Structure 1
């Protein structure tokens, strides 16, 4: 990590973005070119429309979703082709595809929720992550002997075991869910016995949406508005991104109708954003929440976010941590289906953003990127 006086900060979106030659950035130009070609050649198998010819939404097919909770209740937008960029020291060393296109980004939105939770923590809206959410969010969804024990940390580490229905979707929809290469979702949606909050990890989009709803209750205003004011505008992001909720996720806040936003595009909606904006966001987190001399998110929160969870060692507060040999221990990722990736290596000040790469090829891209360093 460079010293603070050496840190380059990209100019705001409208002012352009400085580039750097691969050799000057410490990369072998030929190997880096081959790495980019690998990303372009391994496009996601998902249809561009995000619907298969029989009308099935890709998410329902991808996760073997069936039964009463399959309805798509948020907007869906046709995706673009493979795209991405690589930053070294904040400068663009490589770029391909349409990196400004505001495509759906699926579960990368979870990592944005993590940062919003950090802002709530820094502002005192969350006093203690170990405190039950019901202490500061007076709502029936956090009532009772089970849900009443759920803490903010449980929600952030996906170990809450929250039970119930939110915006027409039951937590049961993601019972027995698996993710990643080789995932077996043959039993997904089959009800299982719940464990004590904080004792069991499960990737569950309804429970992440519960976190988004809880944060909305604390901020008392739309989360996309908070994100724009506190993070995206200060880091010079474009004005093009949007965070869309469900037709069923409007709630009343202080007499106003406000839409709660989800942590992905499981049922449509979520974060619609370009790769360049993702890269700025990844750069902010890699630099421990600081941008151009301003601490936008506390270093304490970033450290907590990137610390292993007790129920899954390669998971933090909605961020994925280095999980296999050969990866720099400090590296971490925001991951979304499709596949969409923000990969950050803070020690080398590298950020890579991938849009629409085949999931099985993601690790191959990272390995090639690391090998391309001269």
Structure 2
């Protein structure tokens, strides 16, 4: 296949957002830039946001609003295949400060009054909004020391963000054009004429955008790894668009206690049981556990349903069956024990982190299915994900403890996140109803919690265990980030995950 055919095949029908100023607009070509040429020749669908005289930095000028201000005017629901942004010469003409490259990936941390901060903000915004390749382009060489420094800055930012750059400034072929052709191509040192766009610039944009759309994109987690080493992280995996984008291990994988991330597996088991008609979320606990309820149950317990076992809004005043408590109980029948604890609050009204709900949810699945949770999930989940029979904590009577104590490797935990990202489908087979995945991972009685899944930044949800055993699902970015760790500073680690990994996605 020729380069021409490859470009046309790759670019045809692609929706591409273009952000820029006069060069992007085509100010000296009657508003017809390389963009219209790409539409005519290669069949792209262009969304063109170009206003002459405007700046990258977040500062409006007489001619119009800044690039950053105009970003917010572009439809966030566009299914964009690429985002292309001009490195504006106006910032050099207005002598705007270069600034410095940030250590962060979070857009709120960038100084958008500087060129570096504005570029990083635009990259972060585009990645988080349209989840597509981001491409910057430079102008051809002209007499400007500041623009030269801007190009050098952009190429340094490229290394951090792994974006694509169509670098006309340093392109040897572009700089060897004859004086005769240069006069035919350029109106002035900055602005191309119609022939300049179509004969000189167009092939470079066809090549650059095609490369961006066809190459395998990776994610740079080196900054996160350096931070992770100080926080007790043992391993991390990042998958996006069903491709492993990055991973790091401090040592070989082995099965570890994933602590409360176990709860999300119990939620999954509950989903299978509901799917099979074994359990209804609307069933009263007084019916589901009729033989275990105290003689005179309080009114709030009478109101509680199976659904309330999954939301951390069960109605009890404090947490029970927690890790430090379990070895000390004198009772062996934990079901009767926890149901006798007062239900102080009406179910669904107070968030109290408590192992009682997920424990009872697991007990109910086991009773209705006639088997332990491991055996129940083996043919329905674990076998399909190629997870060999795992170890899982049990209570004194031998029941699987649905609130914690499942042992998995990082890769096994990561596959669980991918299973949820794919809405219950694995290798083309729908195992768990997608409607359950949707219901169980959206906010339930509180914004921060679903059915035994935590909610987080970037519209994410996660299985989350003590010491930062995590599988974070980011549906909007089509990605999963999983970790195993021995971290005692979860808040700092969460910030690092959000800023140094998720923001890139």
TM-score bracket for this pair, using the shorter chain length: 0.5 to 0.7
Give the helix-richer structure, 1 or 2. Answer: 2
Q: 1:354 aligns with which of 479, 483, 487?
A: 483
1:287-344 CA distances to partner (integer Å, 9 max, x unpaired)? 111112211110111111012122x21110011112xxxx322x11111111211111
Corresponding residue for residue 333 of structure 1: 462
Q: 1:229 aligns with which of 348, 355, 379?
A: 379
Distance 2:294 2:499 in 1: 43
Distance 1:296 1:263 in 2: 23
Distance 1:27 1:303 in 2: 28
Which has the larger Rg?
2
Q: 1:203 aligns with which of 350, 353, 372?
A: 353
1:44-88 CA distances to partner (integer Å, 9 max, x unpaired)? xxxxxxxxxxxxxxxxxxxxxxxxxxxxxxxxxxxxx61121112
Distance 1:279 1:289 in 2: 14
Q: 1:151 aligns with which of 285, 290, 305?
A: 305
Q: CA deviation at 1:171?
A: 10
1:118-177 CA distances to partner (integer Å, 9 max, x unpaired)? 0000000113x122134344432387344333211100112122599974669999xxxx
Distance 2:433 2:260 in 1: 23
Superposed, which structure 2 residues align to 1:287-306 within 5 Å?
287-306=422-441
Superposed, which structure 2 residues align to 1:202-351 within 5 Å?
202-237=352-387, 239=388, 241-246=390-395, 248-250=396-398, 259-264=399-404, 270-310=405-445, 312-322=446-456, 327-329=457-459, 331-351=460-480
Corresponding residue for residue 106 of structure 1: 259
Distance 1:148 1:99 in 2: 49
Distance 2:439 2:238 in 1: 26
| 1:142/1:33 CA distance change after superposition, 3 Å | farther
**Which SS does the other structure have where 1:244 is aligned?**
coil
Distance 1:37 1:172 in 2: 46
**Which SS does the other structure have where 2:346 is aligned?**
coil
Whether 2:227 is the aligned partner of 1:38: answer yes
Corresponding residue for residue 502 of structure 2: 370
Distance 2:304 2:237 in 1: 39
| Equivalences, count | 275
Distance 2:370 2:342 in 1: 34
| 1:100/1:249 CA distance change after superposition, 3 Å | farther
Scaled by the length of structure 2, what TM-score is found? 0.50
1:84-132 CA distances to partner (integer Å, 9 max, x unpaired)? 21112233222222463101111000000000000000000113x1221
Distance 1:154 1:307 in 2: 15
Are the aligned partners of 2:313 and 2:351 in contact in 1 as well (CA < 8 Å)? yes
Distance 2:501 2:409 in 1: 21
Whether 2:273 is the aligned partner of 1:124: answer no
| 1:90/1:36 CA distance change after superposition, 3 Å | farther
Q: CA deviation at 1:25?
A: 5.0
Are the aligned partners of 1:216 and 1:222 in contact in 2 as well (CA < 8 Å)? yes
Distance 1:171 1:91 in 2: 47
**Unmatched 5+ stretches in structure 1:** 3-21, 44-80, 174-190, 251-258, 265-269
Are the aligned partners of 1:150 and 1:162 in contact in 2 as well (CA < 8 Å)? no
| 1:85/1:28 CA distance change after superposition, 3 Å | closer
Are the aligned partners of 1:107 and 1:335 in contact in 2 as well (CA < 8 Å)? yes
**Relative contact order: is structure 1 or structure 2 higher (C-alpha 8 Å, sep ≥ 6)?**
1
Q: CA deviation at 1:28?
A: 4.6
What RMSD over aligned residues (CA atoms) do the two structures have, in Å? 2.9
Corresponding residue for residue 186 of structure 1: none
Corresponding residue for residue 55 of structure 1: none
Q: 1:141 aligns with which of 282, 285, 293?
A: 293
